[in-house]
Amino acid sequence: MVKILLFSDLHLRVNDSLGVIRDGENSRLQDKRKTLKQITDIAIKEQVDLVCDLGDTYDSINPSDKLRLLYAEGFQGLNDVSLDGMSACIPNIKFIRVLGNHETDGKVGAGEDTAIWTYRNGYNVIVRPQRQVLNNLEILFIPEVSNDKVIEALEKYPDALVLGHFGIQGADYGTGKKDESGILLKHIVNRKQPVRLGHYHKRQRHYIGAICRANFGDKDITTGVTVMTFDDANKLIDEKYIEVEDRSLIEIKFHEESSQEKRIENLITAVTNMAKDAIIKLRYYGSSEWFQSQDVKSTVKQYYDIGASKVIVDFNMLNSEVKELEEVDTNFNFKDLISKKAQEDKQDESIGLKYLNKASEL
């Protein structure tokens, strides 16, 4: 029997707009540390033979040492992942990480460079298609490589279980947009064993879904791990999804056209949606004059008072140009917003003020 735990798309990052700085680090990193602990706990409880990270562990090809350490420490409970000088732990669980597209910065084959540091931390990182046998079960690992290489590997090992990180045409980005650049579905249907992938964060056919929410595009996804069990004849006898809790993301919209009652209703909805501990995005749609007249400061404070973990404000002009504020200073005013945006864009403030004029023309 072989039991495998799969998770994907952790997207560890030092700067995360969904977090606040707490005890000297981004609160989302603290959230993700808890996520890793939960994965380890499930792996031990379920007595799996292999934990496999299906990619996009990091956002880039060269993550900082802090992130690499956080990851390695997160899986210390599994003895295949041990840091230099740290003793191995009791459960004998294999650990494999498959490289995702975010970790190659879009350069095909670039993953091979990352192997240098990843091997140093004592676990296997798959940077090119590779077949391995685990207790008699044939597994084909496919990281982010060109479509041709994905297809070549699939054809070379037609009987293997496929664990990887690549796109399939027609797959759902989660925003309603469909994959148009991945491999064709025909290459994976009619295989003897399942194909389970990371990449798209929304759980769907072939994709296990992300372990946590990376941005507001993920606000409606479920987060969790997949556990697959194969019998001695290598037949899949059980597959279950175990939810792993992640902080919720709530979007609240304020439209210039909507009534006061509607705005109050929005607030109530947010509260009943458990705004406590959540990451809130207040989205304003209207003219700049209207936005200036809104008591954004009090609204932001209101959410922090309820216990929101982070409140993000964005203002959407009538011409639908989105100007987003990452950090909200509760003392800010609209002119400050313009000047902040101008600084960020390295532009003269007067260019920013054109937005004001533009909006007043509407």
Using CB under 5 A as the criterion, which residues of the chain lie in contact with Mn ion when the complex forms?
Answer: 9, 56
Q: What DSSP line would sit under 220-255, residue for residue?
A: T---EEEEEEE-TT--EEEEEEEE-----EEEEEEE
Q: Which is nearer to Mn ion, 105 or 289 (CB)?
A: 105
The Cα 74–Cα 201 span in angstroms is 21
The Cα 304–Cα 311 span in angstroms is 7
Beta partners for 108? none
> What are the residue ranges of helices labelled H in 75-204?
111-120, 147-156
The Cα 253–Cα 319 span in angstroms is 16
Q: Which is nearer to Mn ion, 207 or 315 (CB)?
A: 207
Strands 124-126 and 94-98: parallel
Smallest separation (angstroms) from Mn ion to the CB of 299: 32
Smallest separation (angstroms) from Mn ion to the CB of 9: 4
Smallest separation (angstroms) from Mn ion to the CB of 223: 13
Secondary structure element (H or E) that encloses residue 97, with its range: strand 94-98
Q: Which is nearer to Mn ion, 49 or 53 (CB)?
A: 53
Smallest separation (angstroms) from Mn ion to the CB of 113: 20
Q: Which is nearer to Mn ion, 9 or 80 (CB)?
A: 9
Residue 174: closest CA among 218, 216, 207, 215:
218
The Cα 287–Cα 358 span in angstroms is 10
Report residue 299 CA to chain centroid gap.
Answer: 28
Report the residue number whose CB is nearest to Mn ion. Answer: 56
Locate tokens 């009534």: which residue?
Answer: 259
Smallest separation (angstroms) from Mn ion to the CB of 202: 11
Smallest separation (angstroms) from Mn ion to the CB of 338: 33
Smallest separation (angstroms) from Mn ion to the CB of 59: 9
Q: Which is nearer to Mn ion, 32 or 340 (CB)?
A: 32
